[in-house]
Amino acid sequence: MNSIFGSSRGKEDGEHWLTVSDLMAGLMMVFLFIAIAFMRHVSIERDKIKDVAVAYQQNQVAIFDALNEEFKKDLVKWKASIDEKTLAFHFNSPEVLFATGESSLNPEFEEILSNFIPRYLEVLETYKESIDEVRIEGHTSSEWGVDTHPDDAYFFNMTLSQNRTRSVLNYSYLLPNLNSQQRKWIKSSFAAVGLASSRLKLNADGSENKEKSRRVTFRVITNADIQIRKIVDGL
């Protein structure tokens, strides 16, 4: 009978495989569209991160320029400096800041802070929305008295540096010429951090510069990394 009427099996098999091939082609198109959509999404998010990075750089430069413009005439007499990359305002004269081994502010440093803090807050007011934190960082040399073990010296200096930054924060917060909004911002955004000898200043030969290592720093930390993290978490 098959020789007379022929067999439909080959045709059915062909139709079957044609249907599967169409299905596979359709699936490939779906996957292609998904891939294109995903690549477009990643490209958009990448552009967002790039925009944040560019804005961060521009903001860094603007804050540095504003601080430098405000305090450029005071840097030499205060023995201070501003780091453009980290936005750290360094007070580099240990004999002015504190007595050796003490955390109470020297009168000369109190006078500097009375001048510095209101102007510093006024400069940063323009950039408050982009600032995550202002850290008052205390730094010391690695030494502590005669015959003190380096490990003990580190922790003694840690306590000292923490107490010193708390003294700076306390004095700054209680300055009589600050308004309530400035004090509110200090409470919410300023932190006192003692770093002891963890970030020493070195001489050209790699040895410790004990004089330069003893310093107090006001460092602005912008919120660009937080914005980038939000974008990455949303990918």
Pseudo-torsion of CA 163, 166, 168, 170, nearest 10°?
Answer: -140
Q: What's the rounded Cα separation, in Å, for the pair 89 and 20?
A: 70
DSSP 73: T
Residues in the chain predicted with pLDDT less than 50, given as ranges, are: 1-8, 235
Instruction: Judge contact between 135 and 193, C-beta under 8 A.
Output: yes
pLDDT of residue 24: 73
pTM for this model (two decimals): 0.74
pLDDT of residue 57: 75
pLDDT of residue 31: 77
pLDDT of residue 5: 42
For each of the domains in the chain, give its residue range(s) and CATH number, in order of start: 48-231 (3.30.1330.60)
- Collapsed DSSP state (helix, strand, coil) of residue 209: coil
